Amino acid sequence: MKRFQVTPELVGKYINQCLWSDTNPIGKIVGIKGKTKVLIQPVVAGPNKTKMEWVSGGFAGHCYNQSEQTYDFFEEGEVFEVSLSNSSMRGNRWYIHNNPAKYYDFNF
């Protein structure tokens, strides 16, 4: 496995946490503070703007348009420092993306 490195190209990217079928935004990388440390501006997702459509089935119903979820994202709170490495990324289930992401699996 290639060793994870903090590079200037990470500034402006987003960290999202993927928990099985759900995804939540963690924050935006706003600075670098050493070889392994980054500064993160927390990002939160507003309420889902899509009206979820349900049909009977399963335990309580089946949401058939869950892939159409849309959210607005806001930078809130104080910047915090995090050490990034292969093991911390894997352990936290964090992934680096170009955009913040939010997805809730209504059918799980």
Determine the pLDDT at residue 35.
87
pLDDT of residue 3: 67
| Cut 0.95: pTM above it | no
To the nearest whole percent, how much of the chain has pLDDT over 70? 96
- State the average pLDDT over residues 45-70: 87
Q: What local confidence, expressed as pLDDT, does residue 2 receive?
A: 61
Residue spans of the domains in the chain: they are: 8-97
pLDDT greater than 60 at residue 76: yes
Residue 62 in tokens: 């089946």
- Range in 10-14, 18-22, 50-54 the model is least confident about: 50-54
Q: Is the pLDDT of residue 53 over 80?
A: yes
Question: How high is the pLDDT of residue 91?
Answer: 85
Contact 33, 57 (CB under 8 A): no
State the chain's mean pLDDT as an integer: 91
